[in-house]
């Protein structure tokens, strides 16, 4: 039988016993519930019957109170009537509730027979109370009948109370009997279940543990490297299948260990050779990394030089632009100078012409002065002749002599003035001639300055053209250097990348060497581990 079947069977047996325990418990629960309900019903009926008996006594008290009410005392009559109505209602209510309760047949029959006596008793009490409250004198005559009804009802109540009490006692006994019976059945079933489950567990454990111990011993031997241990006889359940699988696994492990032994020897030799090769590659990679690092350093130096050249080219371009700007400004200044010199030349020529005209005018003035001098000399001679004639005339020519003397003085001063003017004119003519000579020399110098300024303007224009051309050449050089710098940056990045890859390759090869050494060690360890197995 398979373990699965055994486990399922054990589970079904356990479930059956569990269902049996549940059924017995349910039966005991229902029995106790029924007994409790009967007991509660009996207790309730007893309580209500006792309340009816109390109302029985209360109605008798109401009758006695009515007999004692004084004639004309309506308040006392009203209170007695209300108390009587309340007591009768409560008595009828509890009797009716007991009649409707689920009580045994004899008790229910006794309660049913009690109801007519209750009504008779209430009617008797009602008659007496009515007559007593109305002032009739025959209320005492009905007292005997009322007392008889009271006594009969009291006896009947005692009998019913005894029946109800007996029923309650019977219900308690039935309840106790149901509880004890349920306990006995539960204990017996529980013991039987424990015994059955213990037997099933022992059988199942025996069926499982015996082959399982064999499997554990064989697994322990395998864990210690012994693959020669046999399983022995095998059962036909799942554990037997497991034993067969483990035995097949032993066979496969023996074959695998033999194969691993051969391959581990080959792996050991290969890993040793791989370690030697990796170390050679590490040496070459180190040299390559050093070369790449040196190249990267050279590229960085070249980049620094190119950057410096680029800066110088930028400075040269700036200087060329400034030179072109200054040449342009100088050309404008030279043009202004040329124009200023031309205007100076014009002004000097105009001044020279005016000075020449002044010289000519001074010649005219000299001629006029010569004429005035000549006239003054002639006037002087005339004045002299007049003075001589006045002297000859004596007293008559005295006035004429005075005029002649004044004219002679005037002619002398005129002569002196013309001499001074002549000297001044000569000086003016001399100065004018000097000024004209200087003006002509200045015009010559101005003409030379204009020519030189024009030559300077041409030179500055050529300088500006050359500066512009130099700026364009410097700009082309700067662009070329920028492109060269960019290309050098890319080359430096690539060289750095190559250097980094070389370093990474070196690290990888170092790791490969370590891995080869670890592989060699692992191969040696695997050889030592494989040697522990007995095949």
pLDDT tens digits for 174-219? 767 777 887 788 788 888 888 888 887 787 777 677 777 777 777 7
pTM of the entire predicted model: 0.33
Domain 3-197 matches domain 281-528 at the CATH topology level: no
**401 burial type by CB count under 10 A (0-12 exposed, 13-18 middle, 19+ buried):** buried
Question: Which residues, at least 6 apart from 352, have a Cβ–Cβ distance to it below 8 Å?
Answer: 435, 436, 439, 440, 443
Of 192, 62, 59, which Cα lies nearest the Cα of 133? 62
Mean pLDDT of the chain: 74
- pLDDT, greater one: 368 or 351: 368
Domain spanning 281-528 has what CATH number?
Answer: 1.10.287.950
Which pLDDT value is given to residue 18?
Answer: 79
Among 14-18, 126-130, 432-436, the minimum mean pLDDT is found in: 432-436
> In angstroms, rounded to a whole number, what is the distance separating the alpha carbons of residues 162 and 159?
5
Band of residue 86 on the pLDDT scale cut at 50, 70, 90? very high
Do residues 139 and 67 touch, judged by C-beta distance below 8 A? yes
Do residues 530 and 261 touch, judged by C-beta distance below 8 A? yes
Which pLDDT value is given to residue 458?
Answer: 75
Which pair of structure tokens corresponds to residue 126? 């009602």
226: alpha, beta or left, given left = phi > 0 and alpha = psi -120 to 50?
A: beta
How many beta carbons lie within 10 A of that of residue 270, not counting itself? 15
Q: At what angle do helices 238-393 and 143-223 cross, to 10 degrees?
A: 80
Do residues 160 and 50 touch, judged by C-beta distance below 8 A? no
> In angstroms, rounded to a whole number, what is the distance separating the alpha carbons of residues 52 and 95?
7
- pLDDT, greater one: 532 or 89: 89
* Residue 142, phi then psi, degrees to nearest 5: -85, -5
pLDDT tens digits for 254-312? 777 778 767 767 766 776 776 677 567 667 656 766 765 776 676 577 567 667 756 76
Asked if the model's pLDDT at residue 121 lies above 80, the reply is yes
Band of residue 512 on the pLDDT scale cut at 50, 70, 90? low
> In angstroms, rounded to a whole number, what is the distance separating the alpha carbons of residues 435 and 443?
12
Percent of the chain scoring above 90 in pLDDT: 1
The C-alpha angle with vertex 481 and arms to 475 and 483, in degrees rounded to 5, equals 105
**11 burial type by CB count under 10 A (0-12 exposed, 13-18 middle, 19+ buried):** exposed
Band of residue 341 on the pLDDT scale cut at 50, 70, 90? low
Of 525, 535, 526, which Cα lies nearest the Cα of 222? 535
Of 170, 28, 22, 53, which Cα lies nearest the Cα of 106? 170
Percent of the chain scoring above 70 in pLDDT: 67
Q: Where are the domains of the chain?
A: 3-197, 281-528
Band of residue 471 on the pLDDT scale cut at 50, 70, 90? low
Position of tokens 């070329």? 480
pLDDT tens digits for 207-249? 677 777 777 777 777 677 676 666 665 666 666 666 677 777 7
DSSP letter assigned to residue 140: T
> In angstroms, rounded to a whole number, what is the distance separating the alpha carbons of residues 210 and 153?
84
Which pair of structure tokens corresponds to residue 504? 């990474």
The answer regarding whether domain 3-197 maps to CATH 1.20.120.1730 reads yes
Which pair of structure tokens corresponds to residue 414? 């005129």
Band of residue 133 on the pLDDT scale cut at 50, 70, 90? confident
């Amino acid at each position: 039988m398979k373990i699965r079947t055994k486990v399922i069977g054990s589970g079904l047996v356990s479930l059956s016993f569990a269902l049996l325990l549940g059924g017995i418990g349910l039966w005991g629960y229902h029995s106790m519930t029924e007994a409790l309900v009967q007991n509660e019903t009996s207790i309730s009926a007893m309580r209500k019957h006792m309340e009816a008996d109390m109302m029985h006594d209360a109605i008798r008290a109401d009758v006695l109170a009515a007999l004692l009410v004084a004639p004309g005392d309506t308040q006392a009559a009203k209170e007695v009537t209300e108390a009587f109505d309340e007591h009768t209602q409560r008595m009828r209510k509890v009797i009716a509730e007991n009649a409707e309760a689920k009580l045994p047949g004899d008790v229910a029959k006794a309660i049913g027979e009690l109801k007519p006596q209750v009504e008779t008793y209430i009617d008797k009490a009602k008659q007496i109370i009515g007559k007593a409250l109305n002032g009739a004198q025959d209320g005492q005559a009905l007292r005997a009948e009322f007392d008889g009804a009271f006594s009969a009802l009291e006896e009947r109540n005692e009998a019913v109370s005894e029946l109800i009490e007996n029923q309650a006692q019977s219900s308690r006994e039935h309840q106790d009997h149901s509880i004890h019976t349920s306990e006995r059945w539960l204990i017996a079933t529980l013991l039987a279940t424990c015994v059955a489950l213990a037997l099933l567990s022992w059988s199942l454990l025996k069926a499982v543990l015996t082959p399982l111990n064999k499997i554990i011993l064989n697994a322990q031997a395998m864990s210690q490297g012994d693959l020669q241990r046999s399983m022995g006889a095998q059962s036909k359940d799942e554990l037997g299948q497991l034993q067969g699988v483990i035995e097949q696994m032993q066979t496969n492990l023996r074959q695998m260990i033999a194969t691993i032994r051969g391959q581990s020897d080959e792996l050991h030799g290969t890993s040793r050779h791989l370690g030697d090769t990796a170390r050679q590659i590490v040496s070459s990679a180190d040299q390559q990394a050093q070369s790449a690092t040196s190249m990267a350093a050279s590229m960085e130096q070249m980049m620094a030089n190119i950057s410096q050249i680029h800066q110088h080219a930028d400075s040269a371009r700036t200087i060329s632009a400034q030179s072109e700007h200054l040449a342009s400004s100088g050309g404008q200044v030279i043009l202004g100078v040329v124009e200023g010199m031309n205007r100076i030349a014009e002004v000097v020529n105009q001044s020279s012409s005016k000075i020449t005209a002044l010289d000519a005018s001074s010649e005219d003035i000299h001629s006029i002065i010569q004429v005035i001098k000549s006239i003054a000399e002639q006037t002087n001679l005339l004045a002299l002749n007049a003075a001589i004639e006045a002297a000859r005339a004596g007293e008559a020519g005295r006035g004429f002599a005075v005029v002649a003397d004044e004219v002679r003085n005037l002619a002398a001063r005129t002569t002196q003035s013309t001499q001074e003017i002549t000297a001044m004119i000569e000086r003016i003519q001399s100065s004018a001639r000097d000024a004209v000579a200087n003006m002509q020399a200045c015009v010559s110098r101005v003409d030379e300055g204009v020519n030189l300024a024009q030559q300077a303007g041409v030179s500055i224009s050529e300088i500006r053209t050359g500066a512009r051309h130099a700026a364009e050449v410097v700009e082309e050089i700067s662009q070329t250097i920028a492109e060269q710098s960019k290309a050098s940056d890319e080359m430096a990045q690539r060289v750095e990348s190559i250097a980094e890859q070389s370093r990474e390759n070196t690290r990888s090869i170092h790791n490969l060497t370590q891995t080869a050494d670890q592989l060699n060690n692992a191969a040696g360890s695997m050889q030592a581990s494989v040697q522990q197995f007995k095949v």
